[in-house]
């Protein structure tokens, strides 16, 4: 079957920053003359001291290292704020839409944002926060979250945002790992009409974090949470006492900017570290080109700041580029499934960037919820976080965008800092489900399992052969793990963990993770993390977790659980384990299926044969492959006979 191709609309190729010829020419130059290319692109940043060296990078063990614009200095907060004040001080920087459509919205200009950032930066300094120190942010989707990020960047503190849906345990682990002394939070968050007890979670987490001496608490719902004398500080009254000017600290390009924890194939989340110069160039450049962005356009990325998408495309990229960026506190289906499109109409959103999981959930509610809104302001749509299935793509294109708006399907990762493979709306003919072509400077390759390159069309492991400015620089506190995780599987290249197909036109089609990572509603989860949560339960002896296809979430969580000998597994225990995992990690890790199993399929050397469990999870059991090396092949028959119905 010939796949559908959507040509670039004529007005897009005419008016866009980059048309197809320009893409080809720039891409070619970015890989053949990277020094010259990046020297020019880096002009988008106001450097305090210009860099002389562009790039010193190697993915090889002998001289491993990644460093960009090394001797240049800059401040990212100044690049997001100060330099806009003359030209666009009175332009709205952040348009904030609350959870409830009847609550008041907030419109914050660049000048107001600048002042709020300076005041908080001064408060942090007053609490003794120094350059290089880690500050943990556990905040709802409110403008103060952006203020907090920028205030840290202003004084050179390294922010570590923990998604507000994570449990006290998960929060404590992240505070301990990066050794934060200061935490910023709110009394409560609000999502879909439900309250999230953020301050109570912090109090619980801090029982295990004796090093934390300051908690700055935003009164958001004003519920009147208990405050610990000497430790807890009321945000609003404390910043009111601070000056509205704060000199930005001069940062070296390779000084750390932020840590963001993400899941890998081992139990412990990794602290992904991004640095200042390269990340800034990458976030700004990709935001401008992928969204064909011009200053002042109303732009909405519907991601939470707890994920990298929120870092790069709600806050840093857009603000560097003088955007009006929408921040939404709520969820797509509250109070009803028209909510997204009502917000689009209310603010006149031109560019909308969201996740396939939300689109699939809304698609199921029917077209009327969309069609009763106007959406005439929309010109461009984006997709991020997981593969978008052609059905959801078509719905997005035809129903939401009325066939008028190109869709940029952007593939990237927490580790990459910004978009790596994506169409450019004025340059790239679209194929539903394909992230299409590489961004400037990105050199993808497909390798087979033995590391042999697949040329031309084919399917393989996706690697990137040379560095790009937005690349992560290390795993916080574990540089060896950084090297081992990404550069040791295939020597001399960055391994993404994704499988990928390349077609006859050189388009890339991400097929999903090929490691023990699953993607649940666009949230990345390590199966090992869920397993360790399960085995921490007193009745559980062993657990193995795999992904399963899920209509809305993309992937669901399928857990095989072996109980201790004296335990009779039943439905009550199933419910208890589900609640347990939610409590240990957070609601995003809720198992969809728990199958009790007297034994797991293991090789004679005791290794769980995950391949078999994955097939059962995928309900693809006609050919389980070779099971002859199993210690006890009858275990598989038992698993097959006792598959539960999804809960």
Contacts of 546 (CB under 8 A, 6+ apart): 518, 527, 558, 560, 610, 613, 614, 616, 617
Stretch that binds ligand WT7, among 71-79, 331-339, 391-399, 495-503 (CB under 6 A): 495-503
Separation between Cα atoms, residue 64 and residue 487, nearest integer Å:
9
- Residue of 287, 285, 292, 303 lying closest to 468 (CA atoms): 285
Residue of the chain from 57, 252, 297, 414 that contacts ligand WT7 (CB under 6 A) = 414
Q: Assess contact for 279 and 259: CB atoms under 8 A.
A: no
Name the residue nearer to ligand WT7 (CB basis): 325 or 342: 325
**Shortest Cβ 429–ligand WT7 spacing (Å):** 17
Residue of the chain from 168, 417, 425, 497 that contacts ligand WT7 (CB under 6 A) = 497
Residue of the chain from 167, 410, 436, 493 that contacts ligand WT7 (CB under 6 A) = 410
Angle in degrees, CA 591, 593, 595, rounded to 5: 120
Binding letters toward ligand WT7, positions 236-265, x by CB under 6 A: --------------------------x---
Q: Which of residues 502-561 bind ligand WT7 (CB under 6 A)?
A: 510, 512-513, 519, 524
Q: H or E stretch including 117?
A: helix 110-126
First to last CA, the chain: 36
Name the residue nearer to ligand WT7 (CB basis): 286 or 410: 410
**Shortest Cβ 554–ligand WT7 spacing (Å):** 9
Alpha-carbon dihedral angle through residues 135, 136, 139, 142, given to the nearest 10 degrees: 30
Binding letters toward ligand WT7, positions 374-403, x by CB under 6 A: ----------xxxx----------------
- The bridge status of strand 106-109 relative to strand 92-97 is antiparallel
Name the residue nearer to ligand WT7 (CB basis): 322 or 385: 385
The phi and psi torsions of 201 (rounded to 5 degrees) equal -65, -40
Separation between Cα atoms, residue 283 and residue 462, nearest integer Å:
22
Name the residue nearer to ligand WT7 (CB basis): 54 or 355: 355
Angle in degrees, CA 94, 95, 99, rounded to 5: 125
**Per-residue CA distances from 32 to 25, 27, 441 (Å):** 11, 9, 9
**Shortest Cβ 284–ligand WT7 spacing (Å):** 17
**Shortest Cβ 413–ligand WT7 spacing (Å):** 4
**Shortest Cβ 496–ligand WT7 spacing (Å):** 6
**Shortest Cβ 307–ligand WT7 spacing (Å):** 6
Stretch that binds ligand WT7, among 12-20, 283-291, 406-414, 483-491 (CB under 6 A): 406-414
Residue of the chain from 498, 529, 531, 584 that contacts ligand WT7 (CB under 6 A) = 498
Residue of the chain from 217, 326, 327, 435 that contacts ligand WT7 (CB under 6 A) = 435
How many Cα atoms within 13 Å fall on the side-chain side of residue 523?
22
Stretch that binds ligand WT7, among 139-147, 218-226, 411-419, 531-539 (CB under 6 A): 411-419
| Mutual angle of helices 610-617 and 634-641, in 10-degree steps | 20
Q: Which of residues 604-633 bind ligand WT7 (CB under 6 A)?
A: none
Residue of the chain from 299, 393, 411, 487 that contacts ligand WT7 (CB under 6 A) = 411
**What single DSSP character describes residue 457?**
S
Residue of the chain from 255, 409, 516, 584 that contacts ligand WT7 (CB under 6 A) = 409
Stretch that binds ligand WT7, among 124-132, 203-211, 225-233, 408-416 (CB under 6 A): 408-416
- Count the residues of the shown chain that bind ligand WT7, applying the rule CB under 6 A: 23
Name the residue nearer to ligand WT7 (CB basis): 239 or 384: 384
SS (H, E, C) 321-362: CCCEEEEECCCCCCCCCCHHHHHHHHHCCCEEEECHHHHHHH
- For CA atoms 73, 468, 5, 519, the dihedral sign is negative
**Shortest Cβ 433–ligand WT7 spacing (Å):** 9
- For CA atoms 359, 92, 330, 554, the dihedral sign is positive
3 state DSSP class of 572: helix
Residue 306 found at the interface with ligand WT7 (CB under 6 A): no
Separation between Cα atoms, residue 466 and residue 473, nearest integer Å:
14
- For CA atoms 290, 496, 482, 519, the dihedral sign is positive
| Mutual angle of helices 571-584 and 168-178, in 10-degree steps | 30
**Binding stretches for ligand WT7 (CB under 6 A):** 262, 307-309, 384-387, 409-414, 435, 496-498, 510, 512-513, 519, 524
């Amino acid at each position: 079957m010939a796949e559908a191709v959507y040509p670039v609309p004529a007005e897009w190729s005419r008016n866009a920053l980059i048309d197809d010829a320009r893409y080809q020419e720039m891409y070619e130059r970015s890989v053949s003359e990277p020094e010259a290319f990046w020297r020019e692109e880096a002009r988008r940043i106001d450097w305090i001291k210009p860099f002389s060296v562009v790039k010193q990078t190697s993915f090889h063990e002998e001289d491993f290292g990644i460093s960009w614009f090394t001797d240049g200095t800059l401040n990212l907060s100044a690049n997001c704020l100060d330099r806009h004040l003359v030209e666009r001080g009175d332009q709205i920087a952040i348009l904030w839409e609350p959870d409830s459509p009847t609550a008041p919205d907030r419109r914050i200009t660049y000048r107001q944002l600048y002042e709020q950032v300076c005041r908080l930066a001064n408060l942090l300094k007053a609490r003794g926060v120094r350059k290089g120190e880690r500050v943990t942010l556990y905040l709802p989707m409110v403008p103060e979250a952006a203020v907090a990020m920028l205030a840290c960047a202003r004084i050179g503190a390294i922010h570590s945002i923990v998604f507000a849906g994570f449990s006290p345990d998960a929060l404590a682990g992240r505070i301990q790992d990066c050794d934060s002394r200061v935490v910023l939070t709110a009394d409560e968050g609000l999502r879909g009409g439900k309250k999230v007890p953020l301050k109570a979670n912090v109090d619980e987490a801090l029982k295990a974090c004796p090093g934390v001496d300051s908690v700055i608490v935003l009164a958001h719902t004003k519920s009147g949470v208990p405050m610990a004398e000497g430790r807890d500080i009321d945000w609003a009254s404390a910043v009111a006492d601070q000056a509205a000017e704060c000199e930005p600290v001069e940062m070296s390009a390779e000084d750390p900017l932020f840590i963001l924890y993400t899941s890998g194939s081992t139990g412990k989340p990794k602290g992904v570290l991004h640095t200042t110069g390269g990340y800034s160039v990458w976030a700004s450049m990709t935001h401008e080109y992928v969204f064909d962005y011009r200053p002042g356009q109303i732009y909405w990325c519907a991601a939470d700041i707890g994920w990298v998408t929120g870092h790069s495309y709600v806050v840093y990229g857009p603000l560097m580029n003088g955007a009006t960026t929408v921040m939404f506190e709520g969820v797509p289906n509250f109070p009803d499934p028209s909510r997204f499109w009502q917000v689009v109409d209310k603010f006149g959103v031109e560019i909308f960037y969201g996740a396939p999981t939300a689109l699939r959930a809304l698609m199921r509610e029917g077209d009327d919820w969309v069609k009763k809104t106007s959406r005439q302001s929309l010109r461009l749509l984006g997709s991020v976080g997981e593969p978008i299935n052609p059905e959801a793509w078509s719905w997005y294109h035809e129903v939401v965008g009325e066939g008028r708006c190109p869709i940029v399907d952007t593939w990237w990762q927490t580790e990459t800092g910004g978009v790596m493979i994506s169409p450019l709306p004025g340059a790239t003919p679209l194929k539903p489900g394909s992230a299409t072509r590489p961004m400037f400077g990105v050199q993808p390759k497909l390798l087979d399992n033995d590391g042999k390159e697949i040329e031309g069309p084919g399917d393989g492991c996706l690697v990137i052969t040379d560095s790009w400015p937005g690349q992560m620089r290390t795993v916080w506190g574990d540089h060896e793990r950084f090297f081992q995780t990404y550069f040791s599987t295939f020597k001399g290249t960055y391994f993404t963990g994704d499988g990928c197909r390349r077609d006859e036109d050189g388009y890339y089609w991400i097929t999903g993770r090929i490691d023990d990572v699953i993607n649940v509603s666009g949230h990345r989860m390590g199966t090992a993390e869920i397993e360790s949560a399960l085995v921490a339960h007193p009745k559980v002896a062993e657990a193995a977790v795999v992904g399963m296809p899920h209509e809305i979430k993309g992937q669901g969580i399928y857990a095989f659980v072996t109980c201790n000998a004296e335990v009779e597994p039943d439905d009550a225990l199933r419910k208890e384990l589900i609640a347990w995992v939610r409590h240990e990690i957070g609601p995003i890790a809720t198992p969809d299926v728990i199958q009790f199993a007297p034994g797991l399929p293991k090789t004679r050397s005791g290794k769980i044969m995950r391949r078999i469990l994955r097939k059962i999870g995928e309900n693809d059991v006609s050919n389980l492959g070779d099971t002859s090396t199993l210690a006890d092949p009858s275990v598989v028959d038992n698993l097959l006979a006792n598959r539960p119905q999804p809960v």
